[in-house]
């Protein structure tokens, strides 16, 4: 499955191949996916935005058809700092020095780090159905442990999650996603088949576990340094979330983001976790309203 009207490319950034698709014309906008998906989460939203923007859809390192480096001690290869640098270099390779970023789930965390580490590059940031990683761990309780058990399961060591997920990756992907869908548009079967295809690669399972291990270690350390320095996201920031999602039910989302960003606005959509697939029209409209006045330059 491919997003219609988009040109597919593979771009090498410091030895890591990033799979991406580019479409449209206008100010550049980078869209990032989450777990356990690929750039195809945007397949209903990207063509709408491409009417006004040059839209770049990227598979994060470790996911989709991007490269999956072997993780070393500490999983630094999958820290958000490393993944964010991939995306900065991707956009530079495509000719864009300053751009908007919208990220869902893990992609939102990459976008958050990208805006912190490279503020001159990110004109505006949209984060979909997340609160900051550091905030999440600081407020973890029984409900979080039950609702987001996968954060702890995937971060477990000794190859445990890799072995268990690898025994039936199709079940894991479909069960995890169906448990977090509430009304709206059903998942596209072709997109689901692509998620399963990509996630059936043992290297993808290993990389995604490293992503979550890094979140509980290297990412937290980086976030603590920023917090101690009083460093926040300085660009305009939009938080979108599903009113039926764990995030929407559990947090005051704009208030959480105001601890980490200086200019925050937010809106709940009538869905669960997968906003671009469950509510594509409303997601596209919210992103257009947010990004259009900002005109990030090429």
Residue 293 has pLDDT above 70, yes or no: yes
CA distance 64 to 288: 26
- pLDDT value of residue 298: 39
Active site (annotated) includes residue 104: no
The overall pTM is greater than 0.85: yes
Q: Are 265 and 293 in contact (CB under 8 A)?
A: no
Residue 290: CB partners within 8 Å, gap ≥ 6? 124, 126, 236, 238, 265
Average pLDDT over residues 158-179: 96
Active-site option among 105, 129, 211, 223:
105
Whole-number Å distance between alpha carbons of 89 and 297: 17
**What is the structure's pLDDT at 103?**
98
- Catalytic site includes residue 105: yes
Q: Report phi then psi at 267, rounded to 5.
A: -155, 135
Could you tell me whether strands 54-58 and 16-24 are parallel, antiparallel, or unpaired per DSSP bridges?
antiparallel
Give the model confidence (pLDDT) of 131-156 as tens digits.
999 999 999 999 999 989 999 999 99
**Residue 297 has what pLDDT?**
45
How many separate helices (H) and strands (E) can be counted in the chain? 15, 8
Q: What integer pLDDT is reported at residue 294 of this predicted model?
A: 65
> Are the beta carbons of 30 and 93 closer than 8 angstroms?
no
Residue 295 predicted with pLDDT over 70? no
Gap between the terminal Cα atoms of the chain: 29
Q: Give the rounded percent of residues in the chain with a pLDDT score beyond 90.
A: 94
Assess whether pLDDT exceeds 50 at residue 296: no
Residues 169-181 have a mean pLDDT of 94
Domain ranges of the chain: 7-294
CA angle, corner 63, sides to 109 and 290, nearest 5?
40
Topology at the third CATH level for domain 7-294: Rossmann fold (3.40.50)
Q: What is the DSSP string of 16-67?
A: EEEEEEEEE-SSEEEEE--TT--GGGGTTTHHHHTTTSEEEEEPPTTSTTS-
pLDDT digits (tens, 9 = 90+) for 94-110: 999 999 999 999 999 99
Crossing angle of the two packed helices 80-93 and 106-117, in degrees rounded to 10:
70
pLDDT per residue as tens digits for the range 263-290: 999 999 999 999 999 999 999 999 999 9
Distance CA 30, CA 102 (A): 6
Question: Are 221 and 267 contacting, i.e. CB atoms less than 8 angstroms apart?
Answer: no
> 54-70 pLDDT, tens per residue?
999 999 999 999 999 99
Question: What is the tens place of the pLDDT at every residue in 239-268?
Answer: 999 999 999 999 999 999 999 999 999 999
**Given the residues 39, 112, 181, 273, the one annotated as active site:** 273
CB 55 within 8 A of CB 102: no
């Amino acid at each position: 499955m491919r997003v219609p009207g988009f040109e597919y490319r593979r771009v090498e950034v410091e030895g890591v191949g990033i799979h991406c698709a580019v479409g449209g014309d206008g100010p550049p906008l980078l869209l990032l996916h989450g777990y356990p998906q690929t750039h195809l989460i945007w397949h209903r939203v990207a063509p709408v935005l491409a009417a006004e923007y040059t839209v770049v859809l990227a598979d994060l390192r470790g996911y989709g058809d991007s490269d999956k480096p072997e993780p070393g001690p500490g999983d630094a290869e999958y820290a958000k700092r490393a993944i964010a640098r991939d995306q900065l270099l991707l956009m530079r390779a495509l000719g864009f020095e300053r751009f908007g970023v919208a990220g869902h789930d893990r992609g939102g965390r990459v976008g958050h780090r990208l805006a912190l580490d490279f503020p001159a590059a990110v004109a505006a940031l949209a984060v979909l159905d997340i609160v900051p990683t550091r905030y999440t761990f600081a407020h973890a309780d029984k409900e979080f442990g039950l609702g987001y058990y996968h954060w702890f399961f995937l971060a477990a060591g000794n190859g445990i999650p890799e072995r268990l997920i690898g025994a039936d990756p199709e079940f894991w992907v479909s069960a995890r996603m169906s448990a977090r869908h509430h009304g709206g548009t059903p998942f596209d079967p072709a997109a689901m088949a692509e998620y399963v295809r990509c996630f059936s690669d043992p290297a993808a399972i290993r990389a995604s576990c490293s992503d979550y291990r890094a979140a509980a270690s290297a990412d937290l350390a980086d976030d603590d340094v920023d917090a101690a320095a009083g460093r926040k996201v300085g660009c305009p920031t939009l938080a979108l979330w599903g009113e039926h999602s764990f995030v929407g039910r559990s947090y005051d989302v704009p208030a959480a983001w105001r601890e980490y960003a200086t200019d925050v606005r937010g809106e709940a959509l009538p869905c669960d976790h997968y906003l671009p697939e469950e509510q594509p029209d409303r997601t596209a409209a919210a992103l257009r309203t947010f990004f259009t006045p900002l005109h990030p330059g090429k």
